[in-house]
Amino acid sequence: MIADDSGDDEARSNPVGGGGVSSSGTQQYPLHFLNLDLDAKGQQGFLENLLDMVLLNATKAHFGFRPTYKRVWLAKQKAVPRIYGDWNESYNELPRWLLGVQMTMSGSSAKDKSCASGWPLVSIDRTHLYGKYGGTLLVAIAQDENSNILPVAFALVERDNVESWSFFLSHLRQNITLQPGILVISDRHNGIKAALEAPDEGWVPLTTYRAFCIRHVTANFTLTFNGKDARRLLVNATYTKTEVEFDYWFNIFCFEDPAMCDWANRIDYALWTQHRDEGTRFRHMTKNISECVNSILKGVRNLLVCSLVMSTYRRLAEIFVCNGRGAEAQLGTGQQFNQHLMKVIKANLKVFRFFHDDFV
């Protein structure tokens, strides 16, 4: 678990949308929220996974009136610290909690709580926090040999900029992704680009590779050029596995509009096309594995920082324990290879038998 030492920002006091009412008269709502019939959401982690609209509808069902969206949002901001504690104290508590993790878990340090090797790729992304002081959560996600999604590093930073990404990626390289030949897949954020290209960060060519998420490349493309057909042609060219196929689709793409061709040619082909990746993408064309984790983290983006870290830690512990037990069960049955490799072997044997029967 990596935590930035950045100072606190001034609080963001107003949500997006909602009615134009003042905060006066909303003191009652935190108590009301505590009395709502929300047992279906679970007692542990109250408000952790509750959206504002869920609270709004629950208030209407329980009390018979429908408050404005802004009143619900303001009430939630008051209920969260009453349940989880003071916002400022949560920042003070986090170093103590991490120290406890460090003392009870061998191999951890004050900067990180993950140690991993062997993953050929890591997908990096960020999600914005909506608590009192805002901030950004940077994440690094990998996959094991059975294609299980495994979060390997997090960073709480003040802003999504070059300094923050340099902090995160330098510790990621030094403590977790130690092996050579690893692929980093991300969007085209300038902060990520600068951090990966810094000569002293360890992300140098030949020892590491970089690739762009195709979904974000096409999203950037549609900001300049309209039309589903043009986007489809770009995606078709991207996913081709041979130069002949690429030339076919890319020539049609360029014929539609030379300006689109010039836009695509400004990006290194090795960063966004499959036929030029030299096998370093491992068939990963998007950073969907990190997007999946971000969708899970949506429920904790409103929490106090220490509660956010503890909730993430609890979920990670469940994942690693579950995967560990599964691996032990496989070893106990005498399996020599992981499940994913066994599926590939069986598929190849099936193809071999099909052609063998045809020629015999």
Residues 205 and 347 placed together within one structural domain of the fold: no
Residues 276 and 222 placed together within one structural domain of the fold: yes
Q: Which domain holds residue 336?
A: 319-354
pLDDT digits (tens, 9 = 90+) for 309-342: 887 777 777 877 887 787 788 788 887 777 777 8
Residues 197 and 265 placed together within one structural domain of the fold: yes
pLDDT digits (tens, 9 = 90+) for 69-101: 888 878 877 777 777 777 667 767 777 777 776
Contacts of 220 (CB under 8 A, 6+ apart): 188
Q: At what angle do helices 258-265 and 214-224 cross, to 10 degrees?
A: 140
Residues 325 and 290 placed together within one structural domain of the fold: no
Pull the structure tokens for residue 198.
């810094």
Residues 277 and 333 placed together within one structural domain of the fold: no
Work out the pLDDT band at 119, boundaries 50, 70, 90. Answer: low
247 near 255, Cβ under 8 Å?
no
Pull the structure tokens for residue 22.
């003042």
In order of 15, 52, 75, the CA distances from 69 in angstroms are: 9, 7, 10
Residues 142 and 269 placed together within one structural domain of the fold: yes
Q: Which of 342, 302, 315, 341 is nearest to 80 (CA)?
A: 302
Residues 328 and 288 placed together within one structural domain of the fold: no
Residues 225 and 280 placed together within one structural domain of the fold: yes
Residues 349 and 209 placed together within one structural domain of the fold: no
Strand order through the sheet with 182-186: 2-3, 149-157, 136-143, 121-128, 182-186, 208-212
Which of 251, 281, 296 represents a domain boundary (last residue)?
Answer: 296
In a domain, 265, yes or no: yes
282 near 142, Cβ under 8 Å?
no
Residues 275 and 189 placed together within one structural domain of the fold: yes
How many domains are there within the chain?
A: 2
Please return the burial class of 323, using the count of CB atoms within 10 Å of its CB with bins 0-12, 13-18 and 19+.
middle
pLDDT digits (tens, 9 = 90+) for 212-231: 999 999 999 999 898 888 89
Residues 166 and 271 placed together within one structural domain of the fold: yes
